[in-house]
Amino acid sequence: MIVTGLSLKGFRNYEEAYCEFSDGINIICGKNAQGKTNLLEAVYLLAGARSFRTRTDDDLIGFGKNTALVRGLAQADGRESEIEFLYRRGCRKIITVNGVKKTPSALSGLVRTVLFSPSDLELVRGGAAARRRFMDLAICQLRPRYAAALTEYNKLLAHKTRILRDKDKKPSLLDVLHEFNDGMARAGAAIIFYRSAWCDKLSSSAARIHADISGCGEILTAGYRTVSSVPEPRQMKMGQIYDLLLEHAAQHREAELASGLCLSGPHKDEIELTIDGAEARGFASQGQARTAALSLKLAERDISEQDAGDMPVLLLDDVLSELDDARRDFVLNRITGGQVLITCCQNDGIAELTGGKVLGIHAGRITGGGLTL
């Protein structure tokens, strides 16, 4: 799986540009604030129409512009796809694949990416929301049904929250509360089912990688925790999880009415990380946290390859400078065999070590294999 070319128009700080990528390692060099991360963001969009930096599509449109265009050429399983996003300020984006309109979920399998950036330290240091987002972005690329269930659940969650909040002014809203509980239980069962299976693979792979990077036998665990009434989701079928979630909602009805909040569900899920038995969030050193985050991301890449049969595109956003020599060498030795895009301020011998193609970025202009139009 590779992205062969990328066209940008009015996207972030790119007026109009086109570049071609090597099917191996690509080193994207430039000073800060020139557009390196913007380029990775555009490639990342091809995997599922979501940015890793913003939830608002208007943010992707360049300053002073009303529209933006991102077009990527990708190859997978012997077929080529042209994926295009048209952004219009204040309007819903238009997605097409080979000229045919598509939904975001229809992009599944066309391009898969794994991104590692300095902000991924939040996977270890941050709250549960960062780890849920990590799961969601990874699994959505592999399972279209998961993406659909997640969208449905979040929509129902927002509606149910409004019902609970406005129940005193509009008591009649409570008449349909059971319908929202049922819908959330169905969508939530699918979410939990897929998350538990994915986290099982994550824990095994990340533990092995962490032990290799640390070189001192540290044991990293990544345990999935969901609603208390579903203690062993890995051993359950989706229908069983649905029954338990529906029962849980009934038991907590009065508490939710009193608080005006949806108190439990997949929107509260967590990946509990430990290093040698200690909670990583509170007790990991800076080096341990960085190693754990790197292990989780490389494990995500392994899972994607094992699931789909080929390697996803690996995006490394200015992370090599954050690593010590041992971890840097580990990453460079491990990223062979698939397409990789690395951003950095200076080449620092990466091209010589990897044989990678070098692209220069300056003020939204691409040189060295890129063509500014």
Coil, strand or helix: which one is 31? coil
Answer whether 361's CB lies under 8 Å from 35's CB.
Answer: yes
Instruction: Count other Cβ atoms within 10 Å, centred on residue 126.
Output: 15
> Which CB contacts under 8 angstroms, 24+ apart, belong to 225-233?
225/269, 225/270, 225/271, 225/272, 226/192, 226/195, 226/196, 226/266, 226/268, 226/269, 226/270, 227/188, 227/192, 227/264, 227/265, 227/266, 227/268, 228/264, 230/192, 233/192, 233/193, 233/195, 233/196
Provide the residue ranges of all domains of the chain, joining segments of one domain with +.
1-111+312-373, 113-309
Predicted pLDDT at 370: 47
**Six-digit token string for 99:** 């000229």
What is the distance between the terminal CA atoms of the chain, rounded to a whole angstrom? 27
Q: Residue 222 half-sphere exposure, CB side, CA atoms within 13 Å?
A: 31
Q: Do the domains 1-111+312-373 and 113-309 sit in the same CATH topology, yes or no?
A: no
- Sign of the C-alpha dihedral computed for residues 221, 225, 230 and 234 taken in this order: negative
Task: Give the Cα separation of 355 and 357 in Å (integer).
Answer: 7
Specify the residue for token string 């608002």. 56
Coil, strand or helix: which one is 97? strand
Predicted pLDDT at 242: 97
Task: Give the Cα separation of 38 and 315 in Å (integer).
Answer: 12
Nearest to 273 by CA among 283, 263, 286: 283
Interval 162-189: pLDDT, tens = 999 988 888 888 889 999 999 999 999 9
Predicted pLDDT at 369: 55
Q: Is the CATH number of domain 1-111+312-373 3.40.50.2300?
A: no
CB within 8 Å of 345: residues ≥ 6 apart: 29, 30, 31, 32, 318, 321
Instruction: Count other Cβ atoms within 10 Å, centred on residue 237.
Output: 11
Task: Give the Cα separation of 141 and 184 in Å (integer).
Answer: 22
- Consecutive 10-residue averages of pLDDT for the chain (373 residues): 95 95 92 93 92 92 96 91 96 96 86 90 94 93 91 95 90 90 97 97 95 86 95 94 95 92 94 95 90 93 92 90 81 85 81 82 80 37
Predicted pLDDT at 48: 85
Predicted pLDDT at 162: 93
E strands present in the chain? 2-11, 14-20, 25-29, 67-76, 79-88, 94-97, 100-101, 113-116, 220-225, 270-275, 278-279, 313-317, 340-344, 357-362, 365-367, 370-372
The CATH number for 113-309, chosen from 3.30.1370.100, 3.30.70.20, 2.40.160.60, 1.20.1050.90, is 1.20.1050.90
Q: Residue 233 half-sphere exposure, CB side, CA atoms within 13 Å?
A: 29
- Which residue(s) pair with 95 in the sheet? 85
Task: Give the Cα separation of 287 and 361 in Å (integer).
Answer: 30
User: Could you tell me the pTM of the whole model?
Assistant: 0.88
